[in-house]
Amino acid sequence: MAAFTVTAGGVRIALRVQPRSASNRVVGLHGGALKVQVTAPPVDDAANRAVVALLAEWLGVSRGAVTVLRGHTARDKLIEVASAEPDRLARQLASRVDKLEGAD
């Protein structure tokens, strides 16, 4: 699966989440998914809330636009970011991932 795909209502992103990290950050690509690290533990939905907050800030969208579709209790998740302009959001996401990959 590609790290992200465009849908009619937004962009779906395959994530690999590392909870209990030293900081909240988007790391880059990891095995066909976007890897993120969050400081929250994987308890009582805390890591999912931290992932939603991190992606919303990173992409410049509201938290309400970010939804966990699959993998609520797993490290591998499928996230959807709702957008009226999904193609623009996909280009923005691709650009941000390219910058991360170029930093390594």
Q: Is the pLDDT of residue 104 over 70?
A: no
How high is the pLDDT of residue 95? Answer: 92
Residue 11's SS3 state is strand
How high is the pLDDT of residue 80? Answer: 97
Answer yes or no: are the C-beta atoms of 34 and 52 closer than 8 Å: no
Q: Is the pLDDT of residue 101 over 90?
A: no
- The tens digit of pLDDT for each residue in 79-93 reads 999 999 999 999 999
Per-residue confidence band for 10, with pLDDT thresholds at 50, 70 and 90: very high
**Three-point CA angle 21, 65, 54, nearest 5°:** 15
Q: How many domains does the chain have?
A: 1
Distance CA 5, CA 41 (A): 28
* Overall pTM > 0.85: yes
Q: Which domain holds residue 10?
A: 4-103
Q: Is the pLDDT of residue 72 over 60?
A: yes
Q: Nearest to residue 4, comparing CAs of 24, 36, 29?
A: 29
Distance CA 59, CA 75 (A): 21
CATH of the domain at 37: 3.30.1200.10
Q: Is the pLDDT of residue 40 over 60?
A: yes
- The tens digit of pLDDT for each residue in 50-69 reads 999 999 999 999 999 999 99
How high is the pLDDT of residue 75? Answer: 96
